[in-house]
Amino acid sequence: MEVYSMVVLGLLMGAAFGFALEKGRVFEPGVIVGQMQFRTFTMLKMFLTAIATGLVILAVLNGFWGVKLHPKATEIGADVVGGALLGLGIVLAGACPGTLFAQIGAGYRDAWFALAGGLAGAMAFGYAQPALKPWITGGPGKLTLDAMLGLPFWVVALMLAALLIAGLAALEHMRPWEDDLGPDADGLRD
């Protein structure tokens, strides 16, 4: 695939993702902070649905067409510290990297500050990374569940997708989306 086609495909996928974020109201700061405080579960449901969908697509690509996956090596220090800093930033800003542009598009002026902070943080890490490298790198290498179980990737992916779908159904039964977003969230009721 040529670069131009990849850019167009990426833009289309980004637009579809932004549309889904906006329609699901997952981009709203109150929904994001509510998820981090375990008060609402709309964001969790949407992202787990995306993961299950991605697993099914990857299973088909891997199982039928032999598409190879190239997982990154597990680096426990970077994963733990980076995940904690990202989570803290999400809670403080009421935004995550995936929702920032949806917030900007919807007119949330605070999102510009979150974007500037994210860019400043990435730049600061870029300069600090050589000094931090000894503390954040190193780990068990490439860990994949399919290799640990000794099963083909597509089998594990479909099993995980089925578990996620069952968990999502149970979560929706316990906490219907209307409880989180309100009865008029879909715009169809009087």
Would the CA dihedral through 15, 21, 23, 27 be positive or negative?
negative
What's the confidence (pLDDT) of residue 51?
Answer: 94
pLDDT < 50 regions, the chain = none
What's the confidence (pLDDT) of residue 77?
Answer: 86
Residue at token pair 């131009």: 4
What's the confidence (pLDDT) of residue 76?
Answer: 87
What's the confidence (pLDDT) of residue 190?
Answer: 55
pLDDT, tens digit, for every residue of 124-167? 999 999 999 888 888 888 889 999 999 999 999 999 999 999 99
